[in-house]
Amino acid sequence: MIDINLIRKNPEIVKENIKKKFQDEKLVLVDEVLELDGEYRAAKTRGDAIRGEKNKISKQIGVLMREGKKDEAEAVKQKVKEFDQELAELEEKEAVMNEEIRKRMMVIPNIIDPSVPIGKDDSENVEIERYGEPVVPDFDIPYHMDIIEKLDGIDMDSSGRTSGNGFYYLKGDIARLHSSILSYARDFMINRGFTYFIPPFMIHGSVVEGVMSFKEMENMMYKIEGEDLYLIGTSEHSMVGRFIDQMLKEEDLPYTMTSYSPCFRKEVGAHGIEERGLYRVHQFEKQEMVVICKPEDSPYWYDQLWKNSVEFFRSLDIPVRTLECCSGDLADLKVKSCDVEAWSPRQKKYFEVGSCSNLGDAQARRLGIRVKNADGKYFAHTLNNTVVAPPRMLISFLENNLQEDGSVLIPEPLRPYMGGQEKIVPPTSKKNF
């Protein structure tokens, strides 16, 4: 949510930003906010004037009564009563106007960074840099589900019976590999000075509205029936929500946090074969990084966060690239964002395994996260980035470490978490459980 003062003083800047995001249908919201804000401020000004006048004449009542001027005192009382009635009407109008303004402000997109490339959708995202040499082996790489099934590492039939499409049972060495990757990611970030958290996996609706746009909320979040609770789609939601309505001390910034959580997402829409299997699922686990900082420091932390992801994947010898997200691909709260994509030898192309975002003060403004210093108060900046999100990351991992005999090599950094195991080998016989 942007500062309403920007709309008051420079509505054309806000409109131009909307055009850059190819959301022309929202242009009318700027004019509606200006009109509603004018009515709101007029009502507030009138209310303040009435309160002043009411306080002034109320003092006359006692004086008139002591002087025996009962009729005049009653007339003043009647005037005070009329003021009270008008004030009640004005306060109700202020509340209605304020809510109508908020509704519109919540869907007006945040002002994007000047460096963001202009484009309609993710097809116009811009590659920044590649890290590592992508390799295509001499043998054919099977579809990732075929690799995992050959290693007896998944049971989709049972999850279909218990939970439906979009769920899975991981088992054996694949389940252990999944947990090992998360454990390695946790320690990777702790070694970079980030504080480790396991947050709540459910949050109130007020937090959901604070951390994401309505469109994201509708497409992602699962609501707990009969309760004001939602299952989180990423630990960023509860980690940023942790600071709701808090006044932070500037000397305590930045807060650098890494958090583990299961994630729950509707994943609305149909997808092709490459986005089935373990690519788009309703439940997965993720290691996240979240930063709360001063506004002037957020560009630095943005660069640090996406670099952490690149270094994590390169430590496992997985080639990656970074893509600058264009204006039309940015969610409404984001100032700037880039995707980290891993190499797929099977598809001979890169695919998304994480996303780094600077949200400016948008989340802080919605959630009331302020910072206090000697000069006053201001809204904090919030940033987030994926360290790793298996099982999607498993796709790239398995493809890049698959051997011609069907075994999968375990990179050295993961071996301590795998009990020293150096490779995963297809079982000689499939177990019946």
pLDDT of residue 54: 87
- Looking at residue 269, its pLDDT comes to 54
Q: Using CA atoms of 136, 150, 267, 234 in order, give the dihedral in degrees to the nearest 10.
A: -80
* In the predicted structure, residue 1 carries a pLDDT above the cut 90: no
Give CA separation, 395 vs 14, 178, 279, 379, 420, in Å.
41, 11, 8, 39, 22
pLDDT, tens digit (0-9, with 9 covering 90-100), for 305-318: 999 999 999 999 99
Q: Which residue has the higher pLDDT, 273 or 30?
A: 30
Q: Which residues in 216-331 belong to E strands, given as ranges?
A: 222-223, 230-231, 247-249, 255-264, 283-293, 320-324
CATH architecture of 4-105: Orthogonal Bundle (1.10)
pLDDT at 288 over 80: yes
Residue 48 token pair = 């303040």
Q: Tell me the pTM.
A: 0.90
In the chain, CATH 1.10.287.40 sits at 4-105
So what's the architecture of 122-424 in CATH? 2-Layer Sandwich (3.30)
Query: pLDDT tier at 304 (50, 70, 90 boundaries)?
Result: very high
Strands 255-264 and 195-197: parallel
Mean pLDDT score across all residues of the chain = 93
For the stretch 37-77, pLDDT in tens is 999 999 999 999 999 988 888 888 788 788 888 888 888 78
- Residue 217 is predicted with a pLDDT of 78
412 pLDDT more than 90: yes
Residue 216 pLDDT greater than 80, yes or no: no
Per-residue confidence band for 433, with pLDDT thresholds at 50, 70 and 90: low
pLDDT at 215: 74
391 upstream amide cis, omega within 30 of 0: yes
Q: What are the start and end residues of each CATH 3.30.930.10 domain in the chain?
A: 122-424
The predicted structure's pLDDT at residue 271: 54
Cα separation, 52 vs 65, whole angstroms: 22
